[in-house]
Amino acid sequence: MSKQKSKSIDSTILKQAFIEAFRKLNPKILMKNPVIFIVEVGFFLTLLLSIKPDIFSEKEANLRLFNIIICLILFVTVLFANFAEAIAEGRGKAQADSLKKTRKSTVANPLKEDGTTVQVDASSLKKGDIVIVNTGEIIPNDGVVIEGIASVDESAITGESAPVVKEAGGDFSAVTGGTHVVSDKIKIEISVSAGESFLDKMINLVEGAERKKTPNEIALNTLLVGLTLIFLVVIVTLLPMGLYVGIHLPLSTLIALLVCLIPTTIGGLLSAIGIAGMDRVNKFNVIAMSGKAVENCGDINTIILDKTGTVTFGNRLASEFIPVEGVTSEEIMEYSVISSLKDLTPEGRSIVELGKRLGYIADESKYTKAEFLEFSAQTKTSGVNLEDGRKIRKGSGSSIKKFVENENGVIPRDLDEKVDRVSRLGGTPLVLAVDNRVLGVIYLKDTVKPGLKERFDNIRRMGIKTIMCTGDNALTAETIAKEAGIDEFVAECTPENKIEVIRREQEQGKLVAMTGDGTNDAPALAQADVGIAMNSGTIAAKEAANMVDLDSDPTKILEVVEIGKQLLITRGALTTFSIANDIAKYFAIIPAIFIIAIPQMEILNIMKLSSPTTAIISTLIFNAIIIPLLVPIALRGVAYKPMKAELMLLKNLAIYGIGGLIAPFIGIKLIDIIITPILRVLGV
C-alpha cells in the first residue's frame, strides 16, 4: 500500500476556513446550496423581526429577544455549513500551495538549428521545442526524452526521495516539468505549452476552486431540494391550521420549524464529503482529474489488471536456456544473447547477463550492421536480422510458431512440452528461433506479489470481478491467475483485446477500471470508466486516463476503488443520519407549537422538554451544532471494510439510521436542561 501523506488540519487551515465561511455568506455563492440558502433566507427574516418584531403582526411585538436568539442560531447554522465546506477546500488549497512552491522560474536550454543551445526563460518554450537538461538542472516543462538516459528526482511531485531512471524509447521516457536531473544529460522534446504542464493541472485540481458536482451529488442535491420544497409547503399550511384551532404561530417559530425539518445536516456536509473524497485520493498520491472519476470508483464492477508489474513483480528475468531436441545448450545461449544485445527491456538485459554468468560474452562489434527489431505488441516478437541474412526471433510460443511456419520450418515435437513446463512453474516461456528452426525456450521467471491473493479476496467480497490481461500464453496466465486468486484472464492479449474486454463488460451494464502506462494502453484507458495512468508512463497514457498515480504503482487501483466505495458509503451514511434526525425533531417542536391549543399534544412530548420556547430553541441549537460534530466523519470518511453492498447497507442503517434516531433525543434533552435556567433569567 502506498504511503499516505499526512495533511492534518493545522491552525492556518482553520483560520483560512473561518474567513472563507464568512465569505460564503454571500447569497450569490450560497444559492449553489439551496438547502442552506433557505436557512440564510430564514436568518434575514428573523433579523428583520429582531429589529421590528411587529412588522408582520402586532401580536409578535413582545418576541424581540426570542427572535434575536432564533436569528443568531440560524446565522451560526449557515456559518457551520460554510465552515464544513471551507475546511475541506482548505486542505486541498494547502496542498496546492505546497506544489506552487516547487513551481520555480527556471531557465531552459533549447537547441537551435545549428545544434547550439541558448538560455531562455522556461515560460517562453512552445510545444515541440527540443531542450537539453544537464545534471542539477530543473526540467523546464513536460516532455519526452528523445536522447540519453538520466536519473530524475521527482520528489517535488511524488514525495518519493529516490530518483527514477528516464530514458529515450519505451514507456519510461515521459518527464514532468518541475522535477530535476540528478545525473547525466538528456535531450527532451517539450510536449505542452507554458501553463499546461502536469504540475499546473495538479495545482488547479487540488485547489478545487472550480470543482463540478458529480452526477450522484446532483441527484442527491435534487432530492434534498425536493424535500425542502415539500416541508416549505407543509409549513405554509400550518399558518391557516393554527388560526383554525385558535393559535397564532409566530413567523420566527415557523422559520425555526422549517429549518429543523429540512435536511440541513446533509445539506451542509454534502460538498465537504465530495471534496474530502478527492483529497483522500490525493493522500494516496493519486491525482483525480474530476470528482466523477472518484465517484465512479465506488461503483466499479470490474477491474482490468496487467499481469507484469501489477499481479507479478514484473522483473521477469532470464533463469534458464532450455534447448529442444537436437539443439545444444551452447547454441540456444549464443543466439539468445545475440538477439538481445540491443534489447533494452529488463528481459533482454537479463538474457545477456545470464549468458555472461554461464560463460558466453558476445562480440558486439560483429553485429554493428545488424538490424535489431524492438518488441512489437502486434507480432509479440523481437529479434535481429543479421548481415548474412539470418533472422533471429524470440517471442511467445504461438508467434514464433507462426514465424517458423512462414519460413517453411518444422515445429519440434518437444516444444509444447517445454513451454508447458515453464508455464506450469508460473514463468514466462520465451521461444527462440533462427530462420525456420526453433532452438528452444528461454525461461523468464516471475513471481506473484505477496499479499495480493488476500486483497483480491477483499475485492471479490465487494462484488467486484477481476480480469488479468497478459501477453503470456494461456497456461502461464492460468497458473498466475490461480495463484493470485483472479477471477478471469485473457492470454496473449493485444491492446485491441483490452478494449474488447472493457466493451464486453460495459455492454453488460458494468463500470470498468483499469491501469496502464504505455502509449498502447491509451485507447483502453480512455474507454474504461476509470483509467489510472502511471506517472512514469507516456504522456499519451496520462492524457487518456482520468487519474494519474504519482507513485506508478499499478496495484494502487485497489486502494482507489476502496476510496470510491468509502465516498459513496460516507455520503449515504450521513444522509441516513440526517433524515433519521428529523423524527426526534418532530417530537420536540411540533408538540411545542400546538400544546397550548391542544393539550392532548402533551402525550407527544416524550422528552419532557421544559416549555414550548425551550423545545424550539433546543432543537434549533442541536440542528446547528450537529454539522461541525459530523465534519470529522465527512473529512475522514466512514470506516470501511470490504463486504457485499447488501450487508454494508444493513450495517450503516443500523449504525447511522438508529444512531441518527437516538442521538437527537439525547442531545435535545441535554440542551433543554442547560438552557432552561438561562432563558428564565433572560425572561424568554
Catalytic residues: 306
Q: Is residue 18 a known part of a binding site?
A: no
Task: Please state the length of the chain.
Answer: 684
| Residue 482 annotated as part of some ligand binding site | no
Is 600 marked within a binding site?
Answer: no
**Do β-strands 302-306 and 465-469 pair in parallel, antiparallel, or remain unpaired?**
parallel
Q: Which helix (H) or strand (E) covers residue 133, if one does?
A: strand 130-133
The one-letter amino acid at 63: L
343 is in an annotated binding site: yes
The one-letter code for the residue type at 681 is V
Please state whether beta strands 391-395 and 381-385 pair in parallel, antiparallel, or not at all (unpaired): antiparallel
Name 110's Cβ contacts closer than 8 Å, sequence gap at least 6: 117, 118, 120, 125, 129, 130, 131
Is 420 known as a binding-site position?
A: no
Q: How far apart are CA 53 and CA 456, in angstroms?
A: 65
669 is in an annotated binding site: no
Task: Identify each DSSP E strand in 470-612 by its residue range.
Answer: 488-490, 512-516, 530-534, 547-549
Strands laid side by side in the 547-549 sheet: 286-288, 547-549, 530-534, 512-516, 302-306, 465-469, 488-490
Query: Do 368 and 357 contact (CB within 8 A), yes or no?
Result: no
Asked if residue 20 belongs to a known ligand binding site, the reply is no
Helix (H, G, I), strand (E, B) or coil at 531: strand
Nearest to 208 by CA among 78, 96, 82: 96
On whether 382 is known to bind a ligand per the annotation, the reply is: yes
Cα distance between residue 573 and residue 656, in whole Å: 6
CA 509 to CA 189: how far, in whole Å? 41
Is 4 annotated among the ligand-binding residues?
Answer: no
- The residue with cell 411540533 is 590
Cell numbers found for residue 487: 477471477
Cell of 473: 500464453
Residue 586: CB partners within 8 Å, gap ≥ 6?
261
Is there a binding annotation on residue 375? yes
183 marked as part of a ligand binding site: no
What gap in Å lies between CA 329 and CA 98, rounded to an integer?
A: 58
Torsion of CA 205, 210, 213, 215, to 10 degrees: -60
CA end-to-end span of the chain? 58
Q: Cα angle vertex 656, ends 654, 662, to 5°? A: 90
Are the C-beta atoms of residues 152 and 535 closer than 8 Å to each other?
no
Q: What backbone phi and psi angles, to 5 degrees, belong to 273?
A: -65, -45
- Residue 299 has phi, psi (to 5 degrees) of -110, 10
Q: Considering Cα of 674, then 678, then 679, then 681, what sign does the dihedral take?
A: positive
Strands, DSSP E only, in 426-469?
Answer: 428-434, 437-445, 465-469
Backbone angles phi, psi at 224, to 5 degrees: -65, -40
Q: Which residues are annotated as a binding site for ATP?
A: 343, 347, 375-382, 394
Binding site listing for Mg(2+): 517, 521
Q: Which residues are annotated as a binding site?
A: 343, 347, 375-382, 394, 517, 521
